[in-house]
Amino acid sequence: MSVQSLSARAAAFVSACEFFPYVRDRKKVADILGGQTLPVFESILDFQERFGGFHYEHPKLGFHYEHPKLGEGWSDGCGFTILDIDEPDYDPDRRYCVREAVKIDEIWHFDCGWREESQLALFLDERGVLYQHDVVIASSVEKWIESAALESQMLFQSGCAHRQLGQVSADNTKFESGIELPPIPEAWDVCNRWWGTETIRLHRGRYITQHPIDFLDLYWIRPEAEAEAERLREYLATTARPSFFLP
């Protein structure tokens, strides 16, 4: 499996985030996996080498979010690692243990991190697909990072507003052709689609389960994009018809 490159935006986002001191050395990680009689996959070695210890926090989002004053508001975030922490004073019996690995339908899944608000584990399978618990949330870690970088750029700007527009039917794609914002293709995959500029961005996300759940989130900067955001909300209300009460 070839390593996916990151856009300049996503690479800068990763560089700005904190990395905790987890084992990242490729050979050491392979030895740890082998020592626990677990299979060694290049996708898992790539992940731990590039992102092991990654930690990201952002203001917690709600139905309608406005940029908080410094020091105010809840926070959410996530961390990445398949191994327990590598610190001298940590329990030596757990220092180099894989967090969890399970085989589901002949595919290995590795516990690769956590979401702080939901307290749900993140899993990476041997193909490089990213899950939150048992729900697919991105086709790769890199695509998830591209999405996180786009969201982060907005959230940490003064004047940022966020609105959860609701769920949309998974087979409703006609409205996308009328979105008057440029697509951001580096962040597109089976679970994420982004459109936008520096002042307004629309995200169509998908949780892949037996019955996929699609949802729309809108981010914009006040006052510059207030009128544009209102026009887009009105357009989506009549075409995408988002709802918080889909059957």
Contact 202, 217 (CB under 8 A): yes
Q: For helices 8-16 and 141-155, give the axis angle rounded to 10 degrees.
A: 80
Contact 54, 80 (CB under 8 A): yes
pLDDT of residue 146: 97
Contact 175, 167 (CB under 8 A): no
Contact 144, 130 (CB under 8 A): yes
Give the pLDDT band (50/70/90) at residue 118: low
Question: Which pTM was predicted?
Answer: 0.88
**Domains contained in the chain, CATH given:** 8-63+73-141 (no CATH), 147-239 (3.30.310)
**Three-state DSSP state, 27:** helix
**Higher-pLDDT residue of 131, 89:** 131
Going across the sheet that includes 160-168, the strands are 64-66, 160-168, 213-221, 200-207, 192-196
Cα dihedral 85→86→91→94 (10° resolution): 70
Give the separation between CA 155 and CA 79, rounded to whole angstroms. 18
Q: Which of 26-35, 39-48, 67-76 has the lowest mean pLDDT?
A: 67-76
Mean pLDDT of all residues in the chain?
87
Give the separation between CA 31 and CA 29, rounded to whole angstroms. 5
Q: What average pLDDT does range 43-54 have in this prediction?
A: 96
Which pair of structure tokens corresponds to residue 151?
């969201």
Asked whether the predicted pLDDT for residue 105 surpasses 80, the reply is yes
**pLDDT digit string, tens, across residues 177-218:** 999 999 999 999 999 999 999 999 999 999 998 888 899 999
Q: Tokens 């009549």, residue?
A: 238
